[in-house]
């Protein structure tokens, strides 16, 4: 088993990615650019968590977790835009927002532990 597979934050990011992919399948009205950004942000979180665990030095690991957290912020912006465009409901937005907030807090804690 790889180290990242043991992390709760990775498991949560993976589950969240599945939710987002489901949103894209169930909402064919989403434009290609928005779908692409959602896909890229979701994979970026998972990939950077995994790559961060592979690094030996604390500053290097920290950098990848910072990038993963930045992708969580990208999600929030995209979901806010989708809510304003009525592509998702306020209730859906709240659920996605809560998931993003949880991921952000977990990553922030990991980042702080590497300072």
Give the model confidence (pLDDT) of 44-97 as tens digits: 999 999 999 999 999 999 999 999 999 999 999 999 999 999 999 999 999 999
Residue of 48, 55, 57, 103 lying closest to 79 (CA atoms)? 103
Please state the domain count of the chain.
1
- Tokens representing residue 115 in the block: 């300072």
The domain of 15 spans 3-113
Q: What is the CATH number of the domain that holds 96?
A: 1.20.1440.60
How far is the C-alpha of 72 from the C-alpha of 16, rounded, in Å? 11
44-56 pLDDT tens trace: 999 999 999 999 9
d(CA 52, CA 65): 6
Helix axes 8-26, 90-113, angle to 10 degrees: 150
């Amino acid at each position: 088993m790889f180290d990242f597979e043991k992390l709760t934050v990775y498991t949560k990011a993976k589950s969240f990615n599945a939710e987002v992919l489901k949103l894209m399948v169930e909402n064919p009205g989403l434009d290609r650019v928005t779908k692409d950004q959602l896909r890229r942000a979701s994979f970026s979180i998972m990939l950077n968590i995994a790559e961060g665990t592979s690094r030996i030095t604390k500053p290097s690991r920290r950098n990848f977790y910072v990038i993963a957290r930045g992708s969580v912020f990208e999600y929030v912006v995209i979901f806010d835009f989708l809510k304003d465009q009525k592509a998702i409901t306020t209730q859906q937005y709240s659920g996605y927002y809560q998931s993003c907030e949880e991921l952000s807090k977990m990553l922030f804690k990991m980042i702080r532990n590497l300072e």
